[in-house]
Amino acid sequence: MAGATTGTDWQAWQHSWDRQQEWYMPDREERFRVMLDMLEALVGPEPRVLDLACGTGSITDRLLKRFPKATSTGVDLDPALLTIAEGYFAGDERVTFVTADLKDPRWAEQLPCRQYDAVLTATALHWLHSEPLAVLYGQLGGLVGEGGVFMNADHMIDDETPRINAAERARRHAAMERAKAAGALDWADWWARAAQDPALAAPTAERFRIYGEHAEGDQPSACWHAQTLRAAGFGEARPVWASPSDTLLLALK
């Protein structure tokens, strides 16, 4: 899909973002598949979804391709990634985007719906430290309706397994270096290209003004996430998928 006024190929930018993310997470598509499997199993094929920290809308893209009757609200603060998302989904009435800071206690007031069947997020909340993340989970307890789900696919590190963690990281980074030598774009390369696109130059500059080079938060264990979500009002919470480096944690209201 190309932008009508800028001539920017938003589909190409969406594809480029996916490939850059896959450099860090080769099993990224498997995470999304399991996420949508569990979404269908628990809330059905026509969910009202909140795509939390949506970025370019990677979750929403896969959601709507699999469940055409679903609807999605994407919320993020990153102006460059939202520009890509809005261009890519232009004209799709099933999708709404909201610019909001998840650390703002009133961010949810900007959403078009008071409750959702599902809140989904991936590779995003690790930039929040544990204290604001616990506050956010408390807010999600009110946004997810009874019988609804929250799913977070992200880095969740168990500090009690340092040798396993070190071996996994070394193996993963070796594979990343081989892929980079073969031409894969990393985070910095991708953003350098975005800054050169006339449609993304200003949003990219604003993005770095907001976040700096790269926001870094905590990466607590899956156990911490499950316990915090239960304290926020979810009845059940546990991992439903894991790779050596990442976890998909599901909480059921």
| pLDDT value, residue 6 | 58
| pLDDT value, residue 217 | 81
Give 192-246 pLDDT, tens digit per residue.
Answer: 999 999 999 999 999 999 998 776 788 999 999 999 999 999 999 999 999 999 9
The pTM for the full model equals 0.95
Which one-letter amino acid corresponds to residue 213? E
> What percent of the chain clears pLDDT 90, i.e. is strictly above it?
94
pLDDT along the chain (253 residues), means of 10: 62 97 94 98 98 98 98 98 98 98 96 97 94 97 97 96 96 95 94 97 96 81 98 98 96 98
| pLDDT value, residue 5 | 43
Can you state the percent helix, strand and coil of the chain, rounding each to 5?
50, 20, 30
Question: What is the C-alpha to C-alpha distance for residues 100 and 249, in angstroms, rounded to an integer?
Answer: 24
| pLDDT value, residue 81 | 98
Domains and CATH numbers, the chain: 10-252 (3.40.50.150)
